Amino acid sequence: MPTLFGFNAFLRCAKESSWGTANTTSSQQVDLRLNSSTLQTSQERPRKTNLSVPATGMLASTFDAFRNSGGTVDIPIQYDASGMLIEGALGSSSTGSVGAFYVHTYAPAFDLPSYTIQFQRGSNLNNSMEQFTGVMVSSMAISVAAGEEMTCSFDLIGKDSGTRSTNITSSFSAGDSVLHFEAEAISLGGTLAPSTFELRSLELTLDNKLERKNILGSKLTGQPVISDVREVTMAITADMDDNDIYVSQLDGKSGTVSIKFTSTANGDHHVIFTLTNAVIEDYSDGVTAFGRVERTFNIRGLASSTDNGLTIEIKNSNASSTLGL
């Protein structure tokens, strides 16, 4: 019997029209390359609480509690291949055209979409595909550091999954990865200073504060709900070139912060991350060694009646913000 290896593992995703109702329409599915995945379903079986045990004193019985589906998936961010789950994290998308290209804008919305995700767990063992329904994005973390490609980790909560079944074969679109050397200097507006500076790494985190909903009458998770205010931060590491950021965080200065990555394979493709009403938090520039001094800090985006706190813009050749990836 062959042993399962992780090579050729991938995700096939489709947006659901209603939470938990499987969507397997091929024209609405997109295949995503995968770095890692912990997606699975697990059955909780706690001990019964009565005091009756055999003469040996050993536990004699358990019962089925919650059946939980979910996990974390990590994918490479591509100019043409990341829109579906980014929309799942933020909640909405809109598309406009610029010449022969399309600009997709992803912004927060309170009602988050759900997905059917088929997880192909490698390719050398039969019946290794598992289909999850009612999958929603609890949190998202997009990161890139000098010398690396950009990746995104999604924490997912699902309703349930089916029996592992017949393998499926991937059909990826051509897509260029977002790479570290394609970044421009980060731009700071408003009263923040300096106006631009160079980074060593960043991690953009959106926490949707999703909470499983468990009720009497079912072992399965009900449709998850947002249990607290959603928050977005960008963790920054940069060389210590001046004291401007230090002063900005002390004085409570704020403004719009954005960073743009432009494809070297196609100069008309780009990704832009923008935080509005941003403030500086958790600043540190401690001296711990002889060499270069680093500063680390968080930039927190804040919403208002006119701003969303966070927008992500992707320009590519796809007419759809989620398909044609």
pLDDT band at 322 (very low <50, low <70, confident <90, very high): confident
User: With bands split at pLDDT 50, 70 and 90, how would you rate the model's confidence at 324?
Assistant: very low
Higher pLDDT, 177 or 81: 177
Which of 25, 323, 8 lies closest to 175, judged by CA?
Answer: 323
Q: Where are the domains of the chain?
A: 10-43+63-161+175-316
Q: Is 179 left (phi over 0), alpha (psi -120 to 50) or beta?
A: beta
Tens-digit pLDDT profile for residues 279-317: 999 999 999 999 999 999 999 999 999 999 999 999 999
pLDDT at 112 over 60: yes
Distance between CA atoms of residues 317 and 307, nearest Å: 27
Angstrom distance (rounded) from CA 279 to CA 126: 51
Tell me which residue of 34, 37, 22, 112 sits closest to 70, measured CA to CA. Answer: 37
Quick: pLDDT tens for 169-219. Answer: 988 877 789 999 999 999 999 999 888 999 999 999 999 999 999 888 999
71 and 57 in contact (C-beta within 8 Å)? Answer: no
Binned at pLDDT 50, 70 and 90, residue 256 comes out as very high
pLDDT band for position 51 (50/70/90)? confident
Please report the pLDDT score of residue 1 as a whole number.
67
| Segment among 18-32, 44-58, 179-193, 268-282 with least mean pLDDT | 44-58
CA distances from 127 to 55, 238, 304 (A): 43, 47, 49
Residue type, 8: N
Looking at residue 204, the DSSP 8-state letter turns out to be E
- pLDDT of 27 higher than 50: yes
Strands, DSSP E only, in 146-221? 151-158, 160-161, 186-188, 196-197, 201-207, 210-213
Q: What is the pTM of this model?
A: 0.94
d(CA 19, CA 233): 28
Please name which of 230, 169, 137 lies closest in space to residue 10, comparing C-alpha atoms. Answer: 169
Residues shown for the chain = 325
Mean pLDDT of 225-251: 95
